[in-house]
Structure 1
Amino acid sequence: MAAKDDLGRVGEQRAAAYLSGLGYEVLDRNWRCPAGEVDIVAARGALLCVVEVKTRTSLRFGHPFEALDDKKVRRLWRLAHAWVEAHPEQAAHSRVRLEAIGIVGPDPRSGALEHLVDLR
């Protein structure tokens, strides 16, 4: 496995633990469909949150959130709707929201973590 893949996996583990600590229930991780992949799907009450995780060792190539352009956000919305359609048992979650977690640092277990709660 490439170092980049390890970095992303560890960053996603930290993000899931962070969300759990805030009271989110992590429902799914690395869910895939023909349209792509969702890093984390979590519930908080009636809210279903689709969370994109971006992990970087430094800001050398820009802040992690800079990768979340309009095209990526539209794709995340399509993936969110595909996840909901594939999981009708989760119908109790009446609203869907996109979120993002960015982690920057040489070790994602201790790097700076930022959480965008409502990605539009």
Structure 2
Amino acid sequence: MKAKDVLGRTGEELAADHLTAAGYAIIERNWRCRQGEIDLVARDGATLVVVEVKTRSSLDFGHPFEAVSSAKLTRLYLLAAAWARAHPAAAHDWRVDAVSVLLPGSFASSGSPDPVIEHLKGIG
């Protein structure tokens, strides 16, 4: 597996753990359809939450949230609608969130600094 794929999966795991600790229920990971992929689908109380996770090992190429462009945001809303159509009984109120995971240094090495996780609710 490529290092960027390991970084992304690690970030998604940390984001899911962070959301679970905040009281969210993770109901699906890496849901795919023709339009693309949703990283995480969760519930925040009665609200369905489509979560985009952006993970970086440094800020050399900008903050992870900077990778959520207007085109990406449009795609996330289309994906949320596709998920809702595929799961009509589960989908009611929903929103799109983003979680940024910064894993400074070598995330695979022991003794590296703790990850920095930020959560933006209701983006767009």
Give TM class, smaller chain: over 0.9
> Residue 74 of structure 1 aligns with which residue?
74
Ranges of 4+ aligned residues in structure 1 off by more than 3 Å = none
Distance (whole Å) between structure 2 residues aligned to residue 110 and residue 80 of structure 1: 31
What is the Cα deviation at residue 111 of structure 1?
Answer: 1.5
> Residue 41 of structure 2 aligns with which residue?
41
Distance (whole Å) between structure 2 residues aligned to residue 3 and residue 23 of structure 1: 30
Give SS of 2:122's match.
coil
Identity of aligned residues (%): 50
Distance (whole Å) between structure 1 residues aligned to residue 43 and residue 117 of structure 2: 20
> Residue 5 of structure 1 aligns with which residue?
5
What is the Cα deviation at residue 45 of structure 1?
Answer: 1.6
> Residue 117 of structure 2 aligns with which residue?
113
TM-score when scaled to structure 2?
0.90
Distance (whole Å) between structure 2 residues aligned to residue 117 and residue 110 of structure 1: 22
Quick one: which amino acid aligns to residue 101 of structure 1? V
Aligned length: 118
Deviations, residues 59-106 of structure 1 (Å, cap 9, x unaligned): 001110001111110000000010111112304xx2111100111123
Distance (whole Å) between structure 1 residues aligned to residue 69 and residue 3 of structure 2: 25
Residue 106 of structure 2 corresponds to residue 100 of structure 1: no
Alignment of 1:53-92 (within 5 A): 53-91=53-91
Quick one: which amino acid aligns to residue 95 of structure 2? R
Gaps of 5+ in 1: none
Gaps of 5+ in 2: none
